Amino acid sequence: MDKSLLKIAYSPEGFRKRGHELVDQLADHLDATLNGKSKKVINWNLPEDEYAFWNGFLENGESSQLFTEIVKRTTHVHNPKYIGHQVSPAAPLASLGGLISSLLNNGMAVYEMGMAPSAIERVITEFICSKIGYDEQSRGFLTSGGTLANLTALLTARKVKVEHDIWNDGHQESLGIMVYEEAHYCVDRAARIMGLGDKGVIKIPASSSYNMDVSQLEEHYQKAQKEGIHVFAIVGSAPSTATGMYDDLLAIADFSMKHNLWFHIDGAHGGASIFSPKYKHTVKGIDRADSVVIDGHKMMMMPIITTALLYKNGNHSHSTFSQKADYLLQQSEDEDWYNYAKRTFECTKTMMSIQWFTLLKTYGEGIFNEYVTTLYDLGHQFGELILANPQFELAIKPMSNIVCFRYIDDILNNIELNELNATIRQQLLEEGEYYIVQTKVNGVHYLRTTIMNPFTTSEHLEQLLEIIKGIALTLKS
């Protein structure tokens, strides 16, 4: 082996030089995107063409141009015209926290492999628990995304609410959970991973407000009971991904108490409204949940991927997994909160708590209030703009920063309107000035926006509507 390559790869001066260059480049990128100097959110390319470029770059590209090409060929979420998926424009200081984690590379399975981030993680999760309204018995941890957090919470629910030892003996009866039919697909996926099957995912239909129709809970529960399904948990959405509408958490809490169910809230997107006095009412009843998920990389300005999973009764988080790994974990009569591998799905995870702590320590919790409130205000403003424009139809008045709408024309039927709106979205993608996504609700094709950038303005949103009108007129001509 040529050891000179290792010396070059680990050179402090080489790292210092490339690091300074990269920070300067990213700062220039922030300036260009945030201040409107960059005209495109995305430089669209077909998958096969993008693959061909990078395959060729590996052989013939200049390594000095690697970071430049990556920045150029990715979606610019810091651009105020990015209003697509639920990914935040990461706060620069939080990103530097991610850099520390990547370089120091402490795996955090056990305390000695991450002393500072382990202690910081407890500080952060206790802080979030207090904002939820939990008491001192609560506990939590950070994990790699909402999908894994929801799965872990449901595994805990099964451990607590089902009497037989499934972990060691397998299923002895049919089990099920109740969830809104338009909840994020990761909940359905988690249930199937757990072996609940199709019948074990009891989907509650939508109300006229596009959230869980709580008036149908009892009927679906009794039907499941008659079919021999032991329902052990119910999941509330805060909010649903497609339309951004919050479930009635108080009603779900009452129902779960009546039937002794585990009440879990998927607040991956909107759980952060606990920080906004103006919008905290959207999660009224969150303090009654047994477990709550909140993504840091959605509404809390963190880099991908970090999620808080909080438990009302912290002891429950220690019961989820019972696998022995004596070479890693020493037995203790006390609560060893600091050995996170006992409670998390991961055996190794990044030092993600540093990102949360950096923002909280530097700016205080007020920055989370400002971020959530600004974005939700923009969502409501956009809804009003759409309602005031006869060429557009709002799916429903928004409760959050997720807004679904479509272009309409009286001479077109629903099938034609669906095709037209899908084509409008594709053209927006290829032009690249704005980035939005799409969804279907009750067979209707809607343009879907999630306003994630606090520097997006009503002028940006008005311009988007004008561009859509122009595209529609061209397509119809």
Share of the chain above pLDDT 90, in %: 85
Low-confidence ranges of the chain (pLDDT < 70): 1-3, 322-335
Distance CA 244, CA 241 (A): 6
Residue 324 pLDDT: 47
Please state the pTM of the whole predicted model. 0.94
Collect all residues with Cβ–Cβ distance below 8 Å to 397 and sequence separation of at least 6: 383, 387
Q: What is the CA radius of gyration of the chain?
A: 24
Contact predicate 295/307, CB 8 Å: yes
User: Rounded to whole angstroms, how far apart are CA atoms 359 and 363?
Assistant: 6
CA pair distance 304, 1, nearest whole angstrom: 35
The answer to whether the bond into 239 is cis (omega within 30° of 0) is: yes
Burial 383-406 (b: 16+ CB within 10 A, else e): bebbeebeebbbbbebbbbbbbbb
Angle at 342 between CA 337 and CA 344, to 5 degrees: 95
pLDDT on residue 344: 87
pLDDT score, position 328: 41
Record: fold of 107-363: Aspartate Aminotransferase; domain 2 (3.40.640)
The strand pair at 437-441 and 402-407 is best described as: unpaired
Are 434 and 83 in contact by the 8 Å Cβ rule? The answer is: yes
Specify the CATH number of the domain 28-92+365-477: 3.90.1150.170
Distance CA 255, CA 472 (A): 46
What's the pLDDT at 186? 87
As given in the structure block, the two tokens for residue 311 are: 């438990």
Cα dihedral sign, 383-298-155-260? negative
Asked if 293 contacts 141 with a C-beta cutoff of 8 angstroms, the reply is no
Contact 356, 297 (CB under 8 A): no
* pLDDT for 323: 52
In this predicted structure, what is the pLDDT of residue 322? 67
Domain locations along the chain: 28-92+365-477, 107-363
DSSP 197-235: TTTTEEEEPB-TTSSB-GGGHHHHHHHHHHTTEEEEEEE
Distances in whole angstroms, Cα of residue 142 to Cα of each of 118, 306, 353, 431: 10, 7, 7, 38
Of 91, 96, 456, 471, the closest CA to residue 302 belongs to: 91
> Is it true that the peptide bond before 177 is cis, omega within 30 degrees of 0?
no
pLDDT score, position 166: 87
CA-nearest of 346, 314, 394 to 145 is: 346
